[in-house]
Structure 1
Amino acid sequence: MKLKRDVRREQMLDVAMEIVRNQGADELTLGTLAAKAGVSRPIAYEHFSTRAGLLLALFKRLEENYVHWLRSALRKAPTELAAVADVISQAYFECLAQFGPEALAISAALKGTKEMAAQQRLMLNVYVDLMYDALRPLSDLEDEHFRPVCVGLLGAAEALASETQAGSISQQTATSVLTSLIAKAVADRPGKSF
C-alpha cells in the first residue's frame, strides 16, 4: 500500500530516530534509512536529498516538538513570575529528557554545516520570542535589555542541559537552577549596580 508523501516522511523520520537511538548518528545514512524503512533509496533521497538534510529534518522535528510543548505549558501557567519561570524550566528539561541523547547526537552530527547554523539561529529567535512574550509582562526591565536577558537565559539553559546530559547534575537541579535564574533576571530592576 502506497502511503501519502507526508505520512511516508513521518514514518521514515520515526525509523531514522530509532537508528540514531539504537546505533548512533554515525550509522544514519540515506541507504540505511531506506533499508530499515522498507523503501527504495530513491524514495529516501526524494524526501531528504542528503544525509545532512535527513539529520536537519530530525533536528527540526525535535525543536518543533519542544516549541509546541512549551507553548501548551505556558497557556496553562498562572501569570506569576515564579510559576512562568518554573514552567519554562520544566518544559525545557522534560523535553530534553524525553528526546534523550539522540538530540545531542543529531546536533553534533550537524555541527559546522551552514544548514544547522541557519536552523539554530532560527530556533534561537523562536525560543527568545516565546520567553519574551511569556516573561515581558512580568518585568520592569527596559526593552533594550529584556531581549538580551532572554538570550542569556537560553545560553544558561543550554549549559545546564549539557551538564545534565553529561550526568554532572540532575534534571531536578538543572530545572531548579534555571527557574531561579529566570526569576532573578526578570525581576532585576534597571539601574541596579553589580
Structure 2
Amino acid sequence: MTETAPQETEGTARGVRLPRTARRAQLLSAAQHVFVANGYHAAAMDEIAERAGVSKPVLYQHFPGKLDLYLALLETQAEELVNRLDEAIASTTDNKLRVHAAVAAYFDFVNGEGHAYRLVFESDLRGEPAVEKAIENATSQCVETITRAVTADAGLDEESARLLAVGLAGLSQVTARYWLNDGRALRQEDAVALIAGLAWRGIGGFPLQQAEA
C-alpha cells in the first residue's frame, strides 16, 4: 500500500489552515480529552486526530509519537500548577493568607477544565522515566516555592521548612482530589477555608523571624 498521507500539510488538513501555534494548541486540547478519559495506554492517535479534526499525518508533524504528545501535554499542565502556586505565594506577605492562597491554588488546578490534573497526580505512565521526571520536577518546584516562604517567615531551618512544605502540598492536592471525586459536597471556597484552617493551625504555631528580632 502506498503511504501518501504523511505528505499532507497542515494547510490541507480537513481544508482548514491554522498557524502552527494554534494548531498545536488544538492538538493538545484534543489529546487532553482522550488521555484523561482513556489513560495513556488505551488512548489512540487515531482518536486524537479525529477529535482535533485533522489527519494523522498532521498530528505526527507536530508530535512524532504518542509519548511525545503525552509529555508535551503533561509538561504544559505541570507548568500550569507551578505557575498557580508561584502566583499564590507571591500574592501576599501575610502568612495566613499565603497558606489559604496555596491551598486554593491546588483546588483551582484540580477543579480546572477537563480534569487535566489527572495527568500530573494520577498518571498511568509513572514508570516511564521522562514522565516521572516531569512530575517530580513540578512537585519539587511547588515544594521549593512553599519552602522559601516558610524558611523566610517561620524561623525554621531549610530542611524543617521543606518537610512542612511537602506536608502542605500533599494535604492540598489529596484533599482537593477527594473533594472533587466526592462530587463537590462543599462549596469550593468552604472546602479551601476548611483545609487552609487546618494547615494554618500547624504552620501558624511557628514564630515569625520578625517577631524574634
Structure 1: how far apart are the matches of 2:125 and 2:83?
Answer: 23
After alignment, is 100-109 or 42-51 more displaced? 100-109
Aligned residue in 1 for 2:169? 154
Give matches, 1:44-193, under 5 Å: 44-77=59-92, 79-99=93-113, 101-104=115-118, 107-167=122-182, 170=186, 171-172=188-189, 174-189=191-206
- Over 3 Å counting, the alpha-carbon distance change for 1:91 and 1:68 in structure 2 is same
Q: Shift of the alpha carbon at 1:139? A: 0.6
Q: Shift of the alpha carbon at 1:20? A: 5.1
Q: Is the 8 A contact 1:80 1:138 kept in 2?
A: no
Q: Is the 8 A contact 1:19 1:28 kept in 2?
A: yes
Structure 2: how far apart are the matches of 1:114 and 1:134?
Answer: 30
After alignment, is 125-134 or 104-113 more displaced? 104-113
State the superposition RMSD in angstroms: 2.8
Q: Is the 8 A contact 2:143 2:165 kept in 1?
A: yes
Q: If each structure's helix is expressed as a fraction of its own residues, which one has the higher value?
A: 1
Q: Is the 8 A contact 2:30 2:51 kept in 1?
A: yes
Candidates 28, 31, 54, aligned match of 1:39: 54
Q: Deviations over 1:69-91 (max 9, x none)?
A: 333343332x1111111111112
Structure 2: how far apart are the matches of 1:147 and 1:110?
Answer: 27
- Over 3 Å counting, the alpha-carbon distance change for 1:130 and 1:99 in structure 2 is farther
1:15 equivalenced with 2:15 (yes/no):
no
What is the TM-score when the length of structure 1 is the normalising length? 0.79
One-letter amino acid of the counterpart of residue 176, structure 1: A
Q: Deviations over 1:132-173 (max 9, x none)?
A: 233333211222211121112212223212311320763445
Q: Shift of the alpha carbon at 1:30? A: 1.6
Q: Secondary structure at the match of 1:109?
A: coil
- The total of aligned residue pairs comes to 187
Structure 2: how far apart are the matches of 1:85 and 1:35?
Answer: 43
Greater Rg over alpha carbons, structure: 2
Identity %: 24
Structure 2: how far apart are the matches of 1:121 and 1:52?
Answer: 17
Q: Deviations over 1:31-89 (max 9, x none)?
A: 22222223332332342333233233222222222222333343332x11111111111
Structure 2: how far apart are the matches of 1:188 and 1:172?
Answer: 24
Structure 2's unaligned 5+ residue stretches are: 1-10, 12-16, 208-213
Structure 1: how far apart are the matches of 2:110 and 2:198?
Answer: 18
One-letter amino acid of the counterpart of residue 9, structure 1: R
